[in-house]
Chains A and B, each alone.
Chain A
C-alpha cells in the first residue's frame, strides 16, 4: 500500500483541547481509518492540520510525498472534509451547496453561474444518491430547495454530497455520526465506508478517516488511531484492538 498522507513529529500549540504533541502517522491508499479519543483529545485539531485549516508549529505534513506547507489548489482539492458543524451555506439551495464542493475545479464564471442558474443537476443528483438521499424527499422544489428547510439528517446528506462532488482522494469526516439517530448514523457510515467488489471505496476516494465516539463501530474500519491529550495512544489494525485498549483510552 502506498502512503497517501504522512505526518512527521507534528506539534500544535494551543489550548488544552487544540494541542497536538509530537504526532507521527501515515495513511495509506485503500485504508478506512477510525480516529478515536475522548472529547478534547485533539481529533478535530488533527483533522484541521490535515486539511490545512490549522498550521502546525513544528513537524511536516506530506501528501503523496510532497510537503503541504504551502498547499496549492490541487492539493487542497484532494483532501475533502465532512465538517462536524457541516458548514453548509444556509442562504443557498441544495444544488448550489452541492456544487460548491466543485469550486476548486472551476473558475469565477462557473461559480457565478451556480449562483445565477440551476446548473449541474445530473452531477448533484448523482452525489445526492451516493450520499444516500433519495432526491424525491426534497419535494417538488428538488435541488432548488433551500438547505434551511432540511432536517438534520438531510443536511448531513447534503454535506456528504458536497464532499463527493469535490471528488477528493482522502475523505476526512469529523464526528459525522454526532446527533444522528442510530439508523441514519448507520446509513451515513455505509456511505463513507462501503467498498466496491474490487475493494475500492464506493465514493471513489482512495482513503477515508473518520473521527467518532463509538468504539462499538471499529469493526467497520481497517485501522484505529487513538488520541488522548494530543498524543497518539495507539495505532493498530481494527481487529487487534482489545476492550482493554478501549478502556484505557476512555479511562480518566
Chain B
C-alpha cells in the first residue's frame, strides 16, 4: 500500500485546499445585490475619477502616507540595529561583558514585536490622541523589534573565526567588529531594510484605513460611500508608487556585489536611511502644520483584580479557535494558491496575468477587501480568511516569481524532453527545486498572518481582533490589556512554531 510521505512541493500545494471551505461559505452567503455592486467596482477600475480636485487631495494624502512610512522605517531601522547589537551575546563576549543583559533584552523585545502595528496604532491613538507621529510610532515600535531580532540572529549566525582572528591580533573590539562583520551585515541591512520599506508603506496605508491619516483614510472613506471611481484613483496612485518602489529596490539589489563597491553602497544606504528619517519628519511637519504636539492623555495603572475579572469574562475558547482558524485558512490560501494557479496553466501569458493579479491584491489593504466582500456577503470568518489569504497570496506570488527566476531551467528541460506535459515539467523541474525555500518563507508568512488576523478580525467580526475593537470602543482598558497580552502570547507561540518549520525546510 502506498505510504504517505509528502515532499516539499506537495506541502506547498496542499494548503490550497483551504480555498474549498472558504469559497463554499462565501458563495453560500452571497446575495443578489452584491453582483451589481461588484460590477460597478470592477468597471470603475478602468474608469477611475480624474477630477483634478480629487487627484490633488489624493496626492496630498499619498504624501502623508509616504512621509509616515519613511519616518517610521528609518527610525525602526536605526533603533533595530542598535537594539540588535545590544541583544547579541556574541558582541557582548567580544567586549568581555556579561551576556545576561543581552539575553534579557532579546527576550523582552518579543513583546513589542508580537503586537501588530495596528494594535500599537489604536492603543497610541487612545493615549496620545490623533497625531501623525502616532502612526510613525506605531510603525517604529514593532518594526524596530523585528529588525533587532533579525539583526541579532544574523550576527549570531556569522562565522566567528574572522572576528576572533582580528581580536587575537590585537585589534580594538569596535574596529574588529566593523572590519569582520560589516561586509556580511551590510548585505543583510540593505536586503532586509529594503523589504521593510515596502512593508512600512503597506503599514502606513493600513493605519490610514483605521483613521490615522494619509491615503488609507481616503480609500476607506471612498469605499464606505461606494465611490468606486474615487477609490480606484487612489488605488492606482498607490499602485504606481508601490511598483516604482519595488522596481527601485530590485534594481538596487541587482547591482554587482563587488567588495569595494559593496562598502560604498552600504555607506550610501546608511545616508539614505538617516536622510529618509529626517526628510519624512520634516515632510510631515510641512504637510500637516496644524497637527500640534503630542499630548499624553493619561492612563491609570491596571488593577490586578479588575484584570482577572476582565479575563474571566471573555469567551477565550471561541476567540482563540476563531483566530487560529482564520490563520490556518488564510495561510493555506496564501501559500497554496500561487503555485496552484501556475500549475493549472503554466503558460507565459498566464503567468504575466497572475503577476498583475498578485500586484493588485498585494496593494489593497485586507480591511478594504473585507469591506468590499461585505458589500455582497454577510460577515463571516471565511470573508476575513479570504481577504487575508489573497493579500498575503500576493506577497507569496511575488516571492514565488523571484524564486523561479533564479532557478535553472535544466531540470524542466529534462522533464519536458522525457515526455512530461508543460504543467508537470513546471511542477517537477522548476517548482520542486524551489519548494523548500518557498515553504520556509511560507512558514514566516504564516507567522505574519497570525499577527495580521487582528486587522481583518476588527472588521470581519471574528477572533481576538473583533473582541479587541469592541473593548477599545467601550474603553474597557482591562479587557484591552488582557487581549493584547493574549495576542502577544499566541503570536510568540506561532513565531516559535514557524521558526522550527522554517529551519527544518531550509535544512532539507
Point out residues on A near B: beta carbons under 8 Å: 51-53, 73-74, 76-81, 83, 85, 87, 89-93, 96, 100-101, 103-105, 107-108, 111-113, 115-119, 144, 146, 166, 168
- The residue that B410 contacts in the complex, of A77, A87, A100, with Cβ under 8 A, is A87
Q: Could you jot down 21 A-B contacts, CB within 8 Å?
A: A73-B421, A76-B418, A83-B414, A87-B410, A89-B411, A89-B429, A89-B433, A91-B433, A91-B508, A101-B418, A104-B418, A108-B427, A111-B424, A111-B427, A115-B10, A115-B432, A116-B7, A117-B2, A117-B5, A119-B2, A166-B418
Give Cα A92–Cα B428 distance, bound, in whole angstroms.
9
Give Cα A137–Cα B10 distance, bound, in whole angstroms.
27
Is B404's CB within 8 Å of the partner chain A?
no
Contacting pair A79 B417 (CB below 8 A): yes
- The residue that A92 contacts in the complex, of B2, B7, B424, with Cβ under 8 A, is B7
A175 to chain B, nearest CB (A): 15
Point out residues on B near A: beta carbons under 8 Å: 2-10, 13-14, 343, 410-411, 413-421, 423-425, 427-429, 432-433, 435-436, 508
Give Cα A28–Cα B14 distance, bound, in whole angstroms.
46
Question: Which residues on the A side are within 8 Å of B433 (C-beta)?
Answer: 89-91
Give Cα A92–Cα B415 distance, bound, in whole angstroms.
14
Question: Which residues on the B side are within 8 Å of A107 (C-beta)?
Answer: 421
- The residue that B419 contacts in the complex, of A53, A76, A111, with Cβ under 8 A, is A76
Supply 20 further A-B pairs (C-beta < 8 A) apart from A53-B417, A83-B414, A104-B418: A52-B417, A73-B421, A76-B417, A76-B418, A78-B419, A81-B417, A90-B433, A96-B7, A100-B418, A103-B421, A103-B425, A103-B428, A108-B427, A113-B2, A116-B4, A116-B6, A117-B3, A117-B4, A144-B5, A146-B508
Give Cα A111–Cα B422 distance, bound, in whole angstroms.
13
Question: Which residues on the A side are within 8 Å of B432 (C-beta)?
Answer: 89, 91-92, 115
Contacting pair A104 B2 (CB below 8 A): no
- The residue that A53 contacts in the complex, of B5, B6, B413, with Cβ under 8 A, is B413
Question: Which residues on the A side are within 8 Å of B7 (C-beta)?
Answer: 91-93, 96, 115-116
Contacting pair B428 A100 (CB below 8 A): yes
Give Cα A138–Cα B80 distance, bound, in whole angstroms.
48
Chain B residue nearest to A116 in the complex (CB): B10
Chain B residue nearest to A50 in the complex (CB): B417
Question: Which residues on the B side are within 8 Å of A92 (C-beta)?
Answer: 7, 432
Contacting pair A104 B9 (CB below 8 A): no
Question: Which residues on the A side are within 8 Å of B9 (C-beta)?
Answer: 91, 115
Given the known interface contacts A93-B7, A115-B10, the answer about A105 and B419 at a Cβ–Cβ threshold of 8 Å is yes
Among A51, A73, A93, A111, find the residue whose CB has the most chain B CB atoms closer than 10 A. A111
Give Cα A82–Cα B21 distance, bound, in whole angstroms.
44
Question: Which residues on the A side are within 8 Å of B5 (C-beta)?
Answer: 93, 116-118, 144
Give Cα A111–Cα B435 distance, bound, in whole angstroms.
15
Give Cα A78–Cα B228 distance, bound, in whole angstroms.
56
- The residue that A112 contacts in the complex, of B10, B420, B421, with Cβ under 8 A, is B10
Given the known interface contacts A93-B7, A117-B4, the answer about A76 and B416 at a Cβ–Cβ threshold of 8 Å is yes
Give Cα A168–Cα B6 distance, bound, in whole angstroms.
28
Give Cα A93–Cα B5 distance, bound, in whole angstroms.
10
Question: Which residues on the B side are within 8 Å of A103 (C-beta)?
Answer: 415, 418-421, 424-425, 428
Among B3, B5, B432, find the residue whose CB has the most chain A CB atoms closer than 10 A. B5
Contacting pair B414 A87 (CB below 8 A): yes
Given the known interface contacts A91-B432, A104-B419, A115-B9, the answer about A81 and B414 at a Cβ–Cβ threshold of 8 Å is yes
Give Cα A89–Cα B413 distance, bound, in whole angstroms.
12
